[in-house]
Structure 1
Amino acid sequence: MIQTKLDDRDDRIQYSDGWGVAGSEHEYKGTTTSTATKGAKFTFEFNGTSVSVFGTLPEATRPSLVSVHPHTSYTVDGGDPVFFSKKLADSIQYRIPFFVKGNLTNGTHTLVGTCVNDGSQVYIDYLIVGAPDNPPIDVSDSPQPNTGPPSSESSESVSSPPVSITSPYSQPPAASSAASSSISSPNLTPHIATIIGGIAGGFILVFIVLALFLWYCRWKRIEYMMSIRRSFSLSSRDSQTSSESLSKSDRNSLVSLPSDIIIYREGRRSLQSQPVSLSASSWNGNKIY
């Protein structure tokens, strides 16, 4: 619903004789139109589905005015009048609804307000007209199909863009566009799949590096064992060669022993200070007899 507020001085409001001007800073645009003349009227033609009249009630400055209430009547399209009357108070009352009419057909209507009694001032401050968000389409103005070339008037009516009226209570287009953009946001599944693939690739790379390291350690161990076997084979071959050479020449050769070897002979032990020459035939095991 679109609501339009009109000041009492609007040119669309027509006043009869007997009306004057007034106003204060507390009233809409600081103006009012007043009358105390019985039968004084105002006429207002509008397009919409509702209309309201607001005014000011003066204070009861004299005891005689307390019993004289502002009394007005209102009709729409010549219908039954609706009366308004309210007792005055000790202070001024602003923005008082004098008349409210709704549920009208969307179209052109005529409002007539009338001062019913004398002796009490009636102050009209402003009017409010209500209209739907989407005005009705006048079918009579739409171009009719024909076989001939369209006239200039029909072409202008077809090509003219439609007038859109925005209500202050309706949702702005930006909100709907934001909602649609949030709905059409891209799916995040491919991004998550990329992260999972990267993590899996990292685990595979670590596994391959670990396998190569274990293979290298095993290869080094095999090489070490083979080197030990080669050393052992060489030492056994040298020992065998030495024993064979000794057996061939031990008959007439002598063995020179160092001076610190203990020689056991006839149950006595003596430390030879000089090298002793013995035949290889007297060598038996680890002792010399």
Structure 2
Amino acid sequence: MNTTTPSPMGFPCPPISSLQTLVDDTDPRIVYSDGWSTAGSAGLECNGTTHASFHVAGTSTTATFTFEGVGVQVYGTIATTGSPTTTFQVDDLPLYTFTFNTNTGGQTSYRVELYTSPFLEPANHTLIISSIGDTSPEIFLDYITYNPIPSLDLSISSGTTASVPSLAAQSTNDAASTGNSTLLNAGALAGGVIGGLALGFILGIISSFILFQRYKKRKVAQENVQGI
């Protein structure tokens, strides 16, 4: 779902994902060093404002932004001339260098994606933007978006909360099911044993009767032989 961030100055900021938070260049959470000035074009840039960097050799022109999340993106405006060079670094990750050749037809480029971080650990992070080129101005910082730490809230859009059975209840149900199964198995086993004993007893009687009949026939035969 995309949402449009309302602007107090009447200039809409670009649509962003519901999983993002937009921070305009004038937000106090972005800390600027010396070497930046405010600029902007009404209707073309978020809130109609940007911060332009004017890097002077031998000085450090930076913008620092601290956030809690898993990703960050930086957008800005590129003028019609020059080749602005800027570095971006999150925490101790490798430095990323952005260079843009603006000599491509005399048109200003708005909302250019200057930097996108890799996926970050869910934690607090610090992004440092450094203007290191030799053109004036270097870049126009328009806005930053970042991805907050995803929530584990199980609420659904209707406002109700999904019911999740507790592990204890599940364990109790499992235990009850296991107990019932054990009782059934024990009953079946007892029935089988009793049935087996009964069958064995009957077979024993039949076998004894057959053996007795054979013994009786042999005895009669022997008596007949002796009488001859």
The TM-score bracket by the shorter chain reads 0.5 to 0.7
* Percent identity of equivalent pairs: 30
Q: Displacement of 1:165 after TM fit? A: 9.6
Q: Give me the whole-angstrom Cα distance separating, in 1, the residues matched to 2:53 and 2:154.
A: 36
Query: Which residue matches 2:143?
Result: 126
Which residue does 1:30 correspond to in 2?
48
Match of 1:33, SS state, is: strand
User: What one-letter code is carried by the residue in structure 2 that aligns with 1:123?
Assistant: F
Give the secondary structure class of the aligned counterpart of 1:20. Answer: strand
Write 1 or 2 for the structure with the bigger share of helix.
Answer: 1
Unpaired stretches in structure 1, ≥5 consecutive residues: 61-67, 136-163, 178-289
RMSD of Structure 2 on Structure 1 (CA):
2.3
**Which secondary structure state, in structure 2, belongs to the residue aligned with residue 105 of structure 1?**
coil
Partner in structure 2 of residue 54 of structure 1: 75
2:197 alignment partner in structure 1:
none
Displacement of 1:80 in angstroms is 1.8
Please, what TM-score do these two structures have when normalized by structure 1? 0.44
Whole-angstrom CA distance in 2 between matches of 1:14 and 1:29: 18
| 1:9 counterpart = 2:30 | no
Superposed counterparts of 1:94-243, under 5 Å: 94-121=110-137, 122-134=139-151, 172-173=157-158
Given that 2:68 and 2:149 are in contact with CA atoms closer than 8 Å, whether structure 1 keeps it comes out as: no
Larger radius of gyration: 1
Q: Which residue of 2 aligns with 1:91?
A: 107
Distance apart, 1:118 and its partner CA: 1.4
Mapped contact 2:154–2:161 kept (Cα < 8 A): no
Relative CO higher for 1 or 2, CA cutoff 8 Å, sep ≥ 6? 2
TM-score (norm 2): 0.56
Aligned residues: 138
Q: Distance in 1 between matches of 2:50 and 2:147?
A: 21
What is the CA–CA distance in structure 2 between the aligned matches of 1:106 and 1:133, rounded to whole Å?
8
**Contact 2:21/2:145 (8 A) holds in 1:** yes
Runs of 5+ consecutive residues of structure 2 not aligned to the other structure: 1-17, 163-228
